[in-house]
Copies of this chain bind each other. A is one copy, B any other.
Amino acid sequence: MTVTDYDALAARLQAVEDRLAIIQLLASYGPAVDSGDAEATAGIWTADGVYDSYPAPMHGHDDLVAMVGSDLHQGLINGGCAHLIGMPQVEVHGDTAVATGYSMLCVRDEATDGFRVWRVSANRWELTRTPTGWRTTNRVNRLLDGSAQARALLGAATQ
């Protein structure tokens, strides 16, 4: 085995590790936010990372921590909810990456002994490699209500 062979194998392995690490980072969002762990939630983003969602974009860890502690979010998790992140499509380009996929928010509905699907959204996650692993620099979330904006978020993944 030559050094070139080794380098090629190591590069392929790195590509797999990166993709899997990003899938796992996204999979950690639900458990973090639905358990009410504000620090773990914020830690999915870089210190100045943005979460562009409803009702207003959040900038940096303080905004993310405040979202988890908000009356809206606390009401959701105390009533019963699940923030599900679908299997994303991930493209890695060196030290940055884009993940595209869906999120679904289900809320407990005692009246029907079931759950209501309240929100299904298109999501674009922009990520960067940091010394402690992949982190989100910008996540954009748009309700799939037929708007061109939500469809464009998904469409950008296939370009």
Contacts and interface: CB of A to CB of B under 8 A. Distances in A.
Interface of A: 1, 3, 5-6, 9-10, 12-13, 16-17, 19-20, 23-24, 26-28, 30-32, 34-37, 40, 77-82, 84-90, 100-102, 104, 106, 108, 110, 112-120, 122, 143-147, 150-152, 154-155, 157-158
Contacts of A112: 116
A8 to B, nearest CB: 9
Nearest to A15: B17
6 contacts: A12-B13, A16-B16, A30-B102, A35-B154, A84-B102, A108-B120
Tallying the copies of this chain within the complex gives: 3
Contacts of A104: 82, 84, 106
Contacts of A82: 102, 104, 120, 122, 144
Among all A-B residue pairs, the 9 with the closest Cβ atoms: A35-B155, A40-B158, A80-B146, A31-B154, A35-B154, A80-B145, A115-B117, A27-B89, A31-B157
